[in-house]
């Protein structure tokens, strides 16, 4: 290894990676003599799921996976455009990879996903920092694009599709724990929230064939996986139609089918839209013990006037009605949210509406951000980003402080209670402990004892932090 490459790698390992990177505990799969690829995913769970589709396509083309980017022939970043911080993190990462290119000139660097579609011109023509740019619907063309890049051309495919769901591609699971997996059930989004870039980077909404979804769940269970998460930008609007356009299956029905694959296969889903989540979905959740009692229900703002500017198509009263239904039909259901501070025109009174709604709902946890304008969105065209940055940050801090209190209050209510937990992996902080999530999606940590990843165990919680339940295993669970 050259001194320059050694110095680059040392710098990479010494600096913690900041931003929106999703954890990828990747298996190293290298076939002698084969070319290798390295991939990082940023942003939402859908990006992680897409990376598994990309891995499958590259495996079929003869490539092997490595977890060491310095040894890779191909380096891919699967990117997010939802917030400015994510884009800044990815640009910084690209700079690091381009330092590697100065040492290994034959390595190809590619950008996948939402940022690829949004910034293709800047990245390919102006900044010239990547060789391959592929949007979310172009992954099937990767082998062709790689060949073009190897010949010295700039390779790009950011065409959005109205049909592509990758239903026939079995993803290569990049999480080597072999316990939990994502199943993408739909792609794109038809909601035109004014702050959101997703409809422009992922295209129109389309649902995947339910038979392929159910078969994927069966295959995963047969391979030892014990939890699947059904993914979509808005899972509640899942609709599978026949050739004549007649709806043959909605999300509640799909959820029922996946839960029926096996009673020991735990089922989660994300994300729900408050305007679309139905009582049928809630009753299906209540009916099946293996459907986790947890719903991520993004509110974005607690103010009806802000929600109208956001084009969320519901108001505060509607949202609280849906929360009441969840708590009535599924007692003890965990609820989390997304919250944006400082959206265009937000007043102090509207900010206080968000805080008051949080206190009513009592979220178990939330993803909280201040508003960052995204070019091309409806908000960027219609509204002025007029809330000063220092005000956005101050309001966000109030939201975070309140959510920290609510999370701790929620967790303290679980002390001296027993929870069924699926063991996922060893704890990062203590090699003598395992961690896994309970029904309400709370992380639970406990001593290992004589159990393994993939086992369901009953854990008695005796202490908590704001983010974690801590306890002791009572017994193994053979039936949910």
459-479 b/e (C-beta count within 10 Å ≥ 16 → b)? bebeebeeebbbbebeeebee
In this prediction, residue 124 carries a pLDDT of 65
Residue given tokens 């059904």 in the structure block? 230
**Yes or no: is domain 418-476 CATH 3.40.1390.20?**
no
Q: Are the C-beta atoms of 337 and 297 separated by less than 8 Å? A: yes
Per-residue pLDDT of the chain (480 residues; tens, 9 = 90+): 444 333 333 333 333 333 344 444 555 454 545 899 999 998 888 889 999 999 999 999 999 999 999 999 999 999 887 777 777 888 888 888 888 888 898 999 999 988 876 776 676 665 567 899 999 999 999 999 999 999 988 899 999 999 999 999 999 998 878 999 999 999 999 999 999 988 988 999 999 999 999 999 999 999 999 999 999 999 999 999 887 778 889 999 999 999 999 999 999 999 999 999 999 999 999 999 999 999 999 999 999 999 999 999 999 999 999 999 999 999 999 999 999 999 999 999 999 999 999 999 999 999 999 999 988 899 999 999 999 999 999 999 999 999 999 999 999 999 999 999 999 999 988 989 999 999 999 999 999 989 999 999 999 999 999 999 999 999 999 999
DSSP 125: I
- Same CATH fold, 418-476 and 3-157? no
Q: Which fold is adopted by the domain 3-157?
A: Rossmann fold (3.40.50)
Residue given tokens 């082998």 in the structure block? 143
Phi, psi of 17 (to 5 degrees): -80, 125
Q: Are the C-beta atoms of 334 and 439 separated by less than 8 Å? A: yes
Element (H, E) at 396: helix 389-412
In this prediction, residue 399 carries a pLDDT of 98
Residue 191 CB: number of other CB atoms within 10 A? Answer: 17
In this prediction, residue 6 carries a pLDDT of 38
d(CA 383, CA 110): 34
**Domain layout of the chain by residue ranges:** 3-157, 418-476
């Amino acid at each position: 290894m050259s001194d320059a490459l050694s110095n680059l790698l040392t710098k990479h390992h010494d600096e913690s990676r900041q931003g929106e990177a999703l954890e990828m505990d990747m298996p190293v799969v290298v076939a002698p003599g084969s070319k290798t690829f390295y991939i990082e995913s940023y942003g939402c769970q859908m990006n992680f799921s897409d990376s598994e589709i990309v891995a499958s396509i590259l495996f079929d083309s003869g490539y092997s996976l490595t977890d060491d980017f310095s040894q890779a022939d191909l380096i891919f970043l699967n990117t997010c455009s939802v917030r400015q911080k994510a884009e800044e993190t990815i640009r910084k990462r690209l700079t690091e990879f381009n330092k590697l290119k100065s040492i290994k000139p034959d390595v190809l660097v590619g950008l996948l996903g939402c940022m690829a579609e949004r910034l293709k011109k800047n990245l390919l023509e102006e900044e010239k920092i990547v060789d391959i740019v592929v949007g979310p619907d172009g992954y099937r063309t990767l082998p062709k694009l790689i060949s073009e890049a190897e010949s010295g051309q700039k390779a790009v495919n950011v065409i959005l599709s109205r049909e592509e769901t990758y239903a026939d591609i079995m993803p290569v699971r990049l999480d080597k724990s072999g316990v939990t997996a994502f199943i993408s059930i739909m792609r794109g989004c038809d909601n035109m929230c004014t702050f959101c870039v997703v409809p422009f980077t992922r295209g129109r909404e389309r649902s995947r064939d339910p038979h392929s979804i159910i078969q994927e769940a069966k295959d995963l269970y047969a391979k030892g996986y014990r939890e699947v998460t059904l993914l979509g930008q808005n899972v509640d609007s899942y609709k599978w139609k026949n050739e004549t356009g007649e709806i043959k299956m909605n999300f509640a029905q799909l959820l029922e089918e996946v839960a029926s694959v096996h009673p020991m296969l735990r089922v989660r889903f994300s994300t729900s839209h408050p305007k679309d989540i139905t009582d049928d979905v809630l009753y299906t959740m209540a009916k099946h013990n293996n459907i986790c009692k947890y719903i991520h229900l993004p509110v974005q703002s607690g103010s009806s006037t802000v929600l109208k500017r956001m084009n969320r198509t519901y108001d505060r009263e509607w949202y609280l009605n849906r929360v009441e239904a969840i708590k009535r039909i599924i007692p003890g259901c965990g609820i989390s949210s997304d919250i944006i501070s400082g959206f265009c025109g937000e007043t102090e009174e509207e900010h206080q509406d968000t805080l008051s709604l949080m206190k009513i709902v009592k979220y178990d946890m939330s993803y909280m951000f201040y508003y960052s304008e995204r070019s091309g969105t409806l908000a960027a065209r219609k509204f002025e980003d007029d809330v000063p940055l220092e005000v956005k940050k101050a309001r966000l801090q109030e939201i975070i402080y309140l959510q920290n209190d609510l999370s701790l209050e929620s967790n303290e209510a679980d002390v001296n209670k027993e929870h069924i937990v699926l063991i996922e992996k060893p704890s990062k902080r203590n090699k003598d402990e395992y961690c896994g999530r309970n029904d309400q999606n709370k992380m639970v940590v406990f001593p290992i004892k004589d159990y393994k990843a993939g086992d369901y165990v009953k854990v008695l919680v005796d202490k908590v932090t704001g983010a974690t339940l801590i306890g002791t295993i009572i017994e193994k669970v053979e039936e949910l």
